Amino acid sequence: MSAERLHFEVHGQEAQGQDKPYVLLVHGMLSSRVQWTRNLPALTPSYRCVVIELWGHGRSPTPRDPTLYSPASYAAQFEAIRAEIGADRWYVVGQSLGAALTLGYALERPQSVIAQVFTNSNSALAVPGWTTRAREYLEKQAAVFRRDGADAIRRHRLNPTSAKWLDDDLRAAFESDIALHDPEGLALTGLHTSLGSSVYERASQTAVPTLLVVGEREERFAASRAYAERTFPDLRTVPTEAGHAPNLATPGAFNAAVLAFFADHPPA
């Protein structure tokens, strides 16, 4: 286990709530802890929310060892955090690339997961052969991050500030966090996290209850959604009038779906 650790924060940890279950929340590529801004107020009255930031994102360090960016290494990091906070089992929630990591974690460590939630994630359900096709693009992306630094981050299509529906407060919060991103960490994330993150061929082995909150306006996720609904053994799907990030774009629908799902799957 590396001495370098992911940055994490625990929300909803007030003394009177020490018996509340834990929830791990994992954001996607180029996002940060701001991803959960509109969800924490709904979740923390009943749950202790553990918000992490991926390597090279926000406040997390940028290890130079590529193996630390693998989904298996992230699963080990999640387990170390779970042990550190003293959670026997927890819920996990993943967004975009973060969903690929949490789905993989639940496959590897089902005994640690009560139930899981994920949102639109094309990397999580990328079809076999995608890695070969995507490698050239991700190698070019890494070269651009390393060459252009902050400028490459600002103009990247996954920069969350490009969403036109963001309000001023959210946009400002994302801009502050994006200024903390390390271009080398983003380059390594593309090459060593994204490329190995698909659970397409293992989805049928999922052993924990699963909720998919779908942003139906992202048309390119439609095929992945259909595959998930055919394949995950214990899947509930809730559609929303959102695009790639339903937890931020339609927080009311997302929060209600997650709270209902957690209530149906108590930690006992």
Mean pLDDT of the chain: 96
Residue 266 binned pLDDT confidence (cut-offs 50, 70, 90): very high
Q: Are 193 and 97 spatial neighbours (Cβ–Cβ below 8 Å)? A: yes
Across-strand partners of 24? 50, 92
| Per-residue pLDDT at 2 exceeds 70 | no
| Per-residue pLDDT at 122 exceeds 80 | yes
The reported pLDDT for the residue numbered 13 is 81
Q: Are 106 and 78 spatial neighbours (Cβ–Cβ below 8 Å)? A: no
- Taking alpha carbons only, the member of 87, 84, 116, 86 closest to residue 101 is 116
The reported pLDDT for the residue numbered 268 is 80
Domain regions of the chain by residue span: 8-264
Give the model confidence (pLDDT) of 64-93 as tens digits: 999 999 999 999 999 999 999 999 999 999
The reported pLDDT for the residue numbered 114 is 98
The reported pLDDT for the residue numbered 132 is 85
Give the model confidence (pLDDT) of 29-48 as tens digits: 999 999 999 999 999 999 99
Any residues with CB less than 8 A from the CB of 27 and at least 6 apart, and which?
Answer: 33, 35, 36, 52, 53, 54, 57, 95, 96, 98
Q: What CATH number is given for 8-264 in this structure? A: 3.40.50.1820
Give the model confidence (pLDDT) of 206-237 as tens digits: 999 999 999 999 999 999 999 999 999 999 99
Cα gap 114→15, rounded to integer Å: 23
The reported pLDDT for the residue numbered 1 is 54
Q: Give the side-chain half-sphere CA count within 13 A for 165.
A: 10
Residue 190 binned pLDDT confidence (cut-offs 50, 70, 90): very high
